[in-house]
């Protein structure tokens, strides 16, 4: 912004800056830098011109809070409608040649900024103006409109900057930040446990316990399978032993029968001896 060798930012760079406005803290920092870049006594005409171009881009493509932030800049923006470097007294203007009006581009950019801001403010209220549905858990749109109308200071953080000419005009819609905050209060007040019949969502400890239970169950199943295999092997060994014992008994009986047969044969073969 302060580099006099660069006449302006590219569209890509402008969109990158625009993305920052969707964060509240970053948006405040962006507009703080813009305010410093519009100081007519310290900033060059090119810096002021680039600041106005950035504001115009943010009003068109940025978050809705950019409209509120732009209205807060009115105390430094309005004098730029008649900005004339020949009439401004400051060290920076003496360096670039005082007495010569180089504020034409600044005045044109200010005119473009004014048109964009007025258009953005008008369009901002159309979406919610024709609706009457309930947008909060406890508050209707009419209730929110009445509440918003009773607190006009929500548009200005610094009341010292407020003036009759720079005060933002009232519109039919609701401020998006205020609406989100109001909905957050309603959501936090909901009793999910009662509405869902006392259902408790699992915690991290529950998942860990479930995992341990699954591991234990798997270990028991493996142990049971091992026991079944061991029992099967033991039964097979017993059957083999029984078969071996039975074969031994059969062989022993067969041997005894053979012995008896041989004895009978020997007796039959002996001659009869008479006295």
Is the model's pLDDT at 213 over the cut of 70? Answer: yes
Domain end among 91, 124, 157: 124
Are 164 and 75 in the same domain? no
Give the residue, 103 or 143, on which the prediction is more confident.
143
Q: Do the domain assignments include residue 242? A: yes
Whole-number pLDDT of residue 31: 92
pLDDT band at 93 (very low <50, low <70, confident <90, very high): very low
- pTM of this structure: 0.36
Domain stop point among 124, 158, 175: 124
104 and 16 both lie in a single domain: yes
Task: With cut-offs at 50, 70 and 90, classify the pLDDT of residue 19.
Answer: very high
- The CB-side HSE value for 201 (13 A sphere, CA atoms) comes to 5
Q: Do 119 and 25 fall within a single domain?
A: yes
Position 195 in a domain: no
**Residue 144 or residue 241, greater confidence:** 241
Least confident of 22-36, 81-95, 235-249: 81-95
Most confident of the following: 95-99, 109-113, 153-157: 109-113
Condensed to tens digits (0 to 9), the pLDDT of residues 219-253 reads: 999 999 999 999 989 999 999 999 999 999 999 89
- pLDDT band of residue 105 (cuts 50, 70, 90) is low
Task: Tell me the mean pLDDT in the region 22-44.
Answer: 86
113 and 166 co-located in one domain: no
pLDDT band per the 50, 70, 90 thresholds, residue 3: confident
**267 inside domain:** no
- pLDDT of 110: 59
Assess if residue 273 is contained within a domain: no
- Which comes out higher in pLDDT, residue 49 or 140? 49
Per the structure, how many domains does the chain have?
3
pLDDT, residue 42, reads 76
Higher pLDDT, 199 or 208: 208
Q: What confidence score (pLDDT) does residue 146 get? A: 72
pLDDT surpassing 80 at residue 7: no
CATH number at 82 reads 1.25.40.90
Q: Three-class SS string for the chain? A: CCCCCCCCCCHHHHHHHHHHCCCHHHHHHHHHHHHHHCCCCCCCHHHHHHHHHHHHHHHHHCCCHHHHHHHCCHHHHHHHHHCCCCCCCCHHHHHHCCCCCCCHHHHHHHHHHHHHHHHHHHHHCHHHHCCCCCCCCCCCHHHHHHHHHCCHHHHCCCHHHCCCCCCCCCCCCCCHHHHHHHHHHHHHCCCHHHHCCCCCCCCHHHHHHHHHHHHHHHHHHHHHHHHHHHHHHHHHHHHHHHHHHHHHHHHHHHHHHHHHHHHHHHHHHCCCCCC
What's residue 72's pLDDT?
86
Does 21 map to a domain? Answer: yes
The domain of 137 spans: 130-187
Q: Are residues 106 and 11 in the same domain?
A: yes
Regarding whether 120 and 47 lie in a shared domain, the answer is yes
State the pLDDT at residue 76. Answer: 81
pLDDT over threshold 60, residue 2? yes
The answer on 180 and 217 residing in a single domain is: no
Claim to verify: residue 29 and residue 82 sit in the same structural domain:
yes
Mean pLDDT over residues 48-72, rounded? Answer: 87
Structural domain includes residue 271:
no
Most confident of 55-64, 110-119, 122-131: 55-64
116 and 182 fall within a common domain: no
Residue 200 inside a domain? The answer is no
Highest mean pLDDT among 6-10, 132-136, 146-150, 168-172: 6-10
Residue 193 lies in a domain: no
pLDDT in tens, 146-157: 766 776 565 444
172 and 111 both lie in a single domain: no
Q: Are residues 9 and 113 in the same domain?
A: yes
Query: For residue 41, what pLDDT is reported?
Result: 75
Same domain assignment for residues 155 and 234: no
């Amino acid at each position: 912004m302060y580099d006099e060798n660069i006449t302006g930012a590219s569209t890509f760079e402008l969109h990158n800056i625009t993305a920052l406005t969707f964060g509240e803290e970053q948006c405040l920092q962006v507009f703080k830098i813009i305010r410093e870049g519009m100081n007519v006594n310290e900033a060059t005409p090119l810096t002021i011109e680039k600041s106005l171009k950035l504001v115009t881009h943010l009003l068109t493509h940025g978050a809705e809070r950019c409209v509120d932030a732009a209205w807060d800049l009115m105390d430094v923006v309005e004098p730029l409608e008649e900005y004339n470097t020949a009439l401004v007294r400051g060290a920076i203007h003496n360096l670039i040649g005082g007495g010569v009006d180089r504020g034409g581009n600044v005045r044109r950019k200010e005119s473009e900024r004014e048109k964009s801001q007025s258009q953005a403010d008008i369009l901002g209220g159309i979406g919610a103006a024709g609706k009457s549905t309930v947008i909060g858990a406890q508050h209707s749109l009419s209730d929110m409109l009445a509440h918003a109308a009773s607190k006009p200071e929500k548009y200005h953080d610094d009341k010292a900057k407020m003036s009759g000419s720079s005060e933002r005009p009232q519109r039919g819609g609701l401020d998006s930040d205020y609406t989100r905050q109001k909905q957050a209060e309603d959501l936090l007040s909901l009793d999910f446990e009662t509405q869902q019949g006392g259902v408790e969502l699992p915690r991290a400890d529950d998942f860990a316990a479930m995992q341990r239970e699954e591991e234990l169950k798997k270990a028991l199943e493996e142990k049971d399978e091992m026991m079944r295999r061991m029992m099967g092997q033991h039964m097979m060994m017993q059957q083999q032993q029984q078969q071996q014992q039975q074969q031994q008994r059969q062989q022993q009986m067969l041997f005894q029968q053979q012995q008896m047969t041989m004895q009978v044969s020997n007796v039959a073969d002996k001659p009869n001896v008479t006295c």
